[in-house]
């Protein structure tokens, strides 16, 4: 009996030592694998074994059960270097998934961003839209507005396959707070009396910056476009900005790609051909140059502008008759 116990102890000891060797033995791996969402621990072990990352799926399973405080995370992982079974487990437990770049360009609105996210298989468009157009979610972040429109700056962001609308929002807002919020005090302490009214809020500046972003890509034109917007606001004129109508149509999912006379009649607070003043929210994200133009508009007497027939610049005017002449000379060659 004593010999049997000794033999059993030796066998167990050998198994433990063998297991520890497997756990800590490092092998060179250069492979990318994907762990599907909802995979069980054993299923993950099977994937790792099949891909040659570990020798035994059951040993991996047992190891994970001894570390119940950690959860293995789904996603795509890049392995390049020497890894032990323990190293692989830690990488999956920390969720060190392979990151990729997701780019938002100047002038993208929330609908554009949603479509890109779905196209790049990061998150479903409907899930993103539902979150970012929820006013209560905006309030949770201590922000102003009915949606997150204007708060997601043009930038390249590192994202992974486990992103949610909430995690993406946090990433986008981190850049906004770092690069855009420093302008808040500058805007709200500025005296705009010579352009419009004494004070404007930072959110109003965001709306104006979004209009500028949609109207021109030329940095030198932006302060002049800002001037026209302020001049029309001060004169209690409608802004008559086409992109606001397009935004209204897109919100209702009825934009065909071309503006028609019927489109211009859409009853929406975003339709600046129908309602005076600024639209209720920004209509897109905007670059720093558009925000700076809002902060430092050019002092002009311009109230109108039209795109030149070569589509490379705008032609500005201070009276309607001159504007009509500019329209006739430039629109005819479109």
Residues 104 and 76 in one domain: no
Pick from 65, 94, 123: which residue ends a domain?
94
Same domain, 186 and 173: no
pLDDT of 298 reads 96
**Same domain, residue pair 113 and 173:** yes
Full residue range of the structural domain in which residue 53 is found: 22-94
Do residues 174 and 208 both lie within one domain?
A: no
Q: How far apart are CA 280 and CA 67, in angstroms?
A: 52
The pLDDT tens digits of the residues spanning 125-177 come to 999 999 999 999 999 999 999 999 999 999 999 998 789 999 999 999 999 99
Helix (H) or strand (E) holding 102: strand 100-104
Same domain, yes or no, for 72 and 27?
Answer: yes
My answer on whether 259 and 281 are in the same domain is: yes
Same domain, 88 and 119: no
Residues 166 and 242 reside in one and the same domain: no
Residues 195 and 298 in one domain: yes
SS3 label, residue 85: helix
Q: Helices 222-234 & 202-215, crossing angle to 10 degrees?
A: 120
Number of domains in the chain: 3
Is 144 inside any structural domain? yes
- Do 47 and 71 belong together in one domain? yes
Q: Is residue 285 a part of any domain in this protein?
A: yes
Residue 16 lies in a domain: no
**Within-domain flag for 263:** yes
Phi (first) and psi of residue 220, to 5 degrees: -70, -20
Q: What pLDDT sits at residue 332? A: 59
CA atoms of 26 and 226, how far apart (whole Å): 62
Residue at 79 is within a domain: yes
Residue 139 lies in a domain: yes
Tens digit of each residue's pLDDT, the chain (334 residues): 544 444 444 433 344 434 545 566 788 889 888 888 888 989 999 999 999 988 888 888 888 888 777 888 888 888 988 898 889 999 889 888 878 899 999 999 999 999 999 999 899 999 999 999 999 999 999 999 999 999 999 999 999 878 999 999 999 999 999 999 999 999 999 999 999 999 999 999 999 999 999 999 999 999 999 999 999 999 999 999 999 999 999 999 999 888 898 999 999 999 999 999 999 999 999 999 999 999 999 999 999 999 988 888 999 999 999 999 988 888 754 4
Distance of alpha carbon 301 from alpha carbon 316, whole angstroms: 10
CATH number of the domain within which 156 lies: 3.30.1490
**198 and 291 co-located in one domain:** yes
- We report the CATH number of the domain holding residue 44 as 3.30.1490.480
Task: Say if residue 134 is in the same domain as residue 232.
Answer: no
Domain boundary among 63, 94, 125: 94
Beta bridge partners of 82: 28
Residue 330 in any domain: the answer is no
């Amino acid at each position: 009996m004593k010999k049997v116990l000794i033999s059993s102890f030796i066998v167990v000891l050998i198994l433990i030592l063998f297991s520890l060797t497997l756990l800590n033995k490092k092998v060179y791996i250069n492979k990318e694998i994907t762990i599907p969402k909802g995979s069980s621990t054993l299923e993950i072990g099977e994937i790792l074994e099949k891909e040659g990352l570990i020798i035994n799926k059951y040993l991996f399973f047992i190891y994970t059960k001894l570390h119940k405080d950690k959860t293995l995370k789904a996603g795509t992982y890049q392995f390049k270097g020497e890894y032990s079974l323990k190293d692989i487990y830690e990488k999956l437990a920390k969720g060190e998934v392979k990151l990729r770049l997701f780019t938002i360009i100047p002038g993208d609105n929330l609908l554009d961003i949603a479509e890109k996210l779905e196209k790049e298989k990061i998150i479903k468009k409907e899930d993103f839209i539902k979150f970012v157009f929820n006013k209560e979610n905006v309030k949770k972040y201590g922000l102003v507005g009915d949606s997150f429109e204007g708060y997601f700056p043009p930038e390249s962001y590192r994202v992974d396959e486990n992103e949610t609308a909430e995690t993406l929002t946090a990433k986008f807002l981190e850049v906004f707070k770092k690069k855009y919020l420093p302008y808040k005090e500058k805007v709200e302490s500025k005296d705009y009396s010579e352009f419009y009214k004494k004070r404007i809020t930072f959110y109003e500046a965001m709306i104006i910056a979004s209009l500028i972003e949609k109207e021109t890509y030329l940095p030198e034109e932006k302060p002049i476009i800002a001037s026209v917007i302020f001049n029309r606001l001060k004169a209690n004129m409608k802004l008559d900005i086409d992109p606001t109508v397009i935004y209204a149509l897109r919100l209702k999912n009825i934009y065909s790609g071309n503006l028609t006379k019927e489109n211009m009649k859409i009853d929406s607070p975003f339709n600046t051909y129908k309602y005076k003043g600024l639209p209720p929210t920004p209509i897109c994200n905007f670059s720093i140059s558009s925000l700076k133009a809002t902060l430092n508009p050019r002092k002009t007497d311009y109230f109108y502008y039209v795109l030149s027939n070569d589509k490379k610049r705008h032609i500005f005017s201070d009276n309607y008759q001159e504007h009509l002449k500019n329209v006739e000379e430039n629109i005819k060659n479109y």
